[in-house]
Amino acid sequence: METLRITKADLNERNEYTRSRDLEFEGHIEVEASLGWVVVLGFIRAGGRLGIEAGSGIKAGSGIKAGWGIEAGLGIEAGSGIKAGWGIEAGWGIEAGLGIEAGWGIEAGLGIEAGWGIKAGWGIKAGFWIHCKLSISVKLRIFSGLCMWRLPRPEEQEIVCAELKSGTVAFGTLKLLEAPKKEGK
């Protein structure tokens, strides 16, 4: 499968991709290292692999989806959802307007926050809190409040959701919310 490699020559002075509004390629898409933020004004679609790995943060106005993994040195933030076939890892926090889903595990140095649900194939590990409005579902264990540089306060160890569908709280305190009411009921 062919690979499209984005270099500095493909960007303008604002680091916007200039070859087209949308970035659509039937093969793999790679971005040259050390370019900083690369902006695509439309959508991105790859027929092959689109790996997302950032030294600092990843931010999207809508959603972030990767077939394999999503990794950022700092934070990951998406206006809607975050989905990865394997794992999601961030040095700081992970935040999504809707849900977070990973085939393997979810790990954040600080907190994990999702507007709706959090689903991880194996486990969830957070330096501080884990918050969502609906449900949390994992196959194995959930760890919240694993901050290594100081003792976390009780509220920083909370796992907050309306329902723990599956998984075991191995470290942290589970706090169940009242489930959000559906419109018209």
Rounded distance, CA 10 to CA 108, Å? 32
Cβ contacts of 173 within 8 Å, gap of 6 or more: 144, 154, 157, 158, 159
Query: Do 87 and 31 fall into the same domain?
Result: no
Rounded Cα–Cα distance for residues 125 and 120 (Å):
10
Same domain, 12 and 86: no
Residues 41 and 114 in one domain: no
Per the structure, how many domains does the chain have?
Answer: 2
Let me know whether 93 and 143 are in one domain. yes
Among 9, 25, 50, which residue terminates a domain? Answer: 50
> Which of 28, 50, 72 finishes a domain?
50
CA nearest to 159, candidates 149, 168, 148, 147: 168
d(Cα 168, Cα 182) in Å, to the nearest integer? 28
Both tokens of 21, joined, read 């509004």
For residues 145 and 183, state if they share a domain.
yes
C-beta of residue 32 within 8 angstroms of C-beta of residue 7: yes
For residues 127 and 184, state if they share a domain. Answer: yes
Q: Are residues 162 and 174 in the same domain?
A: yes
Do 38 and 121 belong together in one domain?
no
- Exposed (0-12), middle (13-18) or buried (19+): which is 119, by Cβ within 10 Å? buried
- Residue 78 shares a structural domain with residue 105: yes
Q: Is residue 32 domain-shared with residue 103, that is, in the same domain?
A: no
Domain of 103 in residue numbering reads as 54-185
pLDDT per residue as tens, the chain (185 positions): 788 888 899 999 988 889 988 888 887 788 877 777 777 777 777 776 666 555 555 655 555 665 555 655 555 665 556 666 656 666 666 766 666 767 666 777 777 777 777 877 777 888 888 888 888 888 889 999 888 888 989 998 999 998 999 999 999 999 998 866 666 55
Residue 140 CA neighbour count, 13 Å, CB half: 11
* pLDDT of 164: 93
State residue 44's pLDDT score: 75
Same domain, 83 and 145: yes
At residue 155, what are phi and psi to the nearest 5 degrees? -70, -20
Same domain, yes or no: 59 and 38: no
- Other beta carbons within 10 angstroms of residue 129's beta carbon come to 23
CB 27 within 8 A of CB 52: no
